[in-house]
Amino acid sequence: MIMGFMPASPLAFNIVRACWVIFLVVWLFAAASTKPSIYRESREQRTRYSILLVLAYVLLLNGHRLPYPLDARVIPPTETIAWTGAFLCIAGLAFSIWARAALGPN
């Protein structure tokens, strides 16, 4: 435990995980009812974005194993921060589901 910090709540982390699972399920079902795309990116454009996405994913999962300063925590892992993150995740999930419903098949 970091001196002076309380361990973050596992329940808050489970809420965030559940929000992401719900988000993925909703988006997969919504993708089946969308209109076909008019503009398609080239393979080079998609590759550029995919490389950045994979790099971000690797950094998120392995950030704690990287050397300083890449492993430095900017925000301490406190109970308040964990629950604030869980609340923001729930709010973001609600907003994204509302937006998907409002956009319909577009």
Domain, as residue range, for 94:
63-106
Q: Give me the pLDDT at residue 73, please.
A: 80
Q: Is the pTM of this model over 0.85?
A: no
SS3 58: helix
Residue 1 has pLDDT above 70, yes or no: no
Residue 74 lies in a domain: yes
Residue 86 lies in a domain: yes
Q: What is the mean pLDDT of residues 30-36?
A: 83
Residue 53 has pLDDT above 60, yes or no: yes
Domain count, the chain: 1
Q: Which of 30, 19, 29 is nearest to 91 (CA)?
A: 19
How confident is the model over 4-19, as pLDDT tens digits? 444 578 899 899 999 9
Contacts of 96 (CB under 8 A, 6+ apart): 23, 26
